[in-house]
Amino acid sequence: MAKIVVTGGLGYIGSHTVVELVNAGYDPIIIDDLSNSQAGILDQLTKIIGFKPTFYQFDLCDEKKLKEFTEKESDIEGIIHFAAFKAVGESVQKPLKYYHNNLLSLTNLLSAYSGKDISFVFSSSCTVYGQPDVLPVDENAPVKPAQSPYGNTKQIAEEILKDAIASGDAKKVIALRYFNPVGAHETALIGELPIGVPQNLVPFITQTAIGKRNKITVFGDDYNTKDGSCVRDYIHVVDLAKAHVAALKLMESNYFAGYDVFNLGTGNGNTVLEIIIAFENATGVKLNYEIGPRRSGDVEQVWGDVTKSAKELNWKAELGIDTMMASAWAWEQYLSKNPL
């Protein structure tokens, strides 16, 4: 079984990807420092996949620990690099924390496996497009000046990866630009586990529905969209996880070399208000929400052109908004009875 290192493998997207890697016959090896996840996720993964996945707990910024790891795990075939800090607002308050963690973890990993014939998948983001001039936005759209240090780390990371390909430090790299991952695994044993106040809409919705939060604030209803609230391309996290397997498969094929980038979304946009209604319809739970002022840094609308992913990755999102909402709600209910 091909060994695939999954950095940040106990996090939201990483944990779902571990499951899909096992389903596809790979042997995932998790690295996580638990800076934004819980050790209990390892037990949850064990319940889903039927065995305890290999797990190393250390910070990828620690070169010495990474060296010990590479000496032990020298026969790996791929790396999926999720590990990063992701809170946009915090990155504005603490930019150096973000540049340090998100960039040093990447350069350390590339250096540790420099020159080896390893497939490398990187978690990028649609934030690189800012507010696109044309919608849906495709991979050839110009990258816009980053709106936050977090967004900037994704742009710089893509540049670092291209340079590493040009120099031969890396051989095969795919950067995946995620739109808005939501939802949870069908078993409701893993899902998004925000530490503190959620930054994203759907965990805020589920926490309000369960009574942890009083109400949801919709940031602005005067945008130039169908109901005035912002539009995003919401994608089920399990669909997203499967795309990582598709990226590995593409890199295993003989004709792939160098660097490429793919959008991962559904190709459809939904407004914030539509998501609130979709949640109510899918779960039968009424939500308390109010309209507030716009939030600085929010783009008005973005959704992805996923033609290239369908054609070249041979992947497309299959799960709809109802499943996204119902699974997120099942996970929140599970968590309220079984805190991790």
Ligand X SMILES: NC(=O)c1ccc[n+]([C@@H]2O[C@H](COP(=O)([O-])OP(=O)(O)OC[C@H]3O[C@@H](n4cnc5c(N)ncnc54)[C@H](O)[C@@H]3O)[C@@H](O)[C@H]2O)c1
**Number of residue whose CB is nearest ligand X:** 11
- CB 154 to ligand X: min, Å: 7
- CB 169 to ligand X: min, Å: 20
Burial class (CB in 10 A: 0-12, 13-18, 19+), 161: buried
C-alpha–C-alpha distance, residues 84 and 47, integer Å = 26
- CB 56 to ligand X: min, Å: 9
* Catalytic site residue from 12, 56, 113, 150: 150
When the beta carbons of 194 and 254 are compared against ligand X, the nearer one is 194
**Peptide bond before 28: cis, by omega within 30 degrees of 0?**
no
When the beta carbons of 61 and 143 are compared against ligand X, the nearer one is 61
When the beta carbons of 42 and 170 are compared against ligand X, the nearer one is 42
Contact call for residues 81 and 122 (beta carbons, < 8 A): yes
| Element spanning 56, H or E | strand 54-56
Residue 198: helix, strand or coil by DSSP? Answer: coil
Residue listed under structure tokens 């914030």? 272
Q: Where along the sequence are the contacts to ligand X (CB under 6 A)?
A: 7-8, 10-14, 31-37, 59-61, 82-84, 86, 101, 105, 123, 125, 178, 180-181, 200
The backbone torsions φ and ψ at residue 262, rounded to the nearest 5 degrees and listed phi first, read: -135, 140
The backbone torsions φ and ψ at residue 124, rounded to the nearest 5 degrees and listed phi first, read: -105, -165
C-alpha–C-alpha distance, residues 302 and 197, integer Å = 24
When the beta carbons of 11 and 220 are compared against ligand X, the nearer one is 11
- CB 204 to ligand X: min, Å: 13
When the beta carbons of 83 and 243 are compared against ligand X, the nearer one is 83
Q: Which residues pair with 235 in a beta bridge?
A: 181
When the beta carbons of 198 and 220 are compared against ligand X, the nearer one is 198
Contacts made by residues 307-313, CB under 8 angstroms, sequence distance 24+: 307/138, 308/138, 308/139, 308/262, 308/263, 309/243, 309/262, 309/263, 309/264, 312/250, 312/260, 312/262, 313/243, 313/246, 313/247, 313/250, 313/262
- CB 302 to ligand X: min, Å: 12
When the beta carbons of 37 and 263 are compared against ligand X, the nearer one is 37
Cβ atoms < 10 Å from Cβ of 90: 17
- CB 30 to ligand X: min, Å: 9
Strands 234-236 and 119-125: unpaired
Residue listed under structure tokens 């893509």? 158
Contact call for residues 316 and 265 (beta carbons, < 8 A): no
Annotation marks residue 234 as catalytic: no
C-alpha–C-alpha distance, residues 155 and 235, integer Å = 21
- CB 61 to ligand X: min, Å: 5
The residues annotated with a catalytic role in the active site are 150
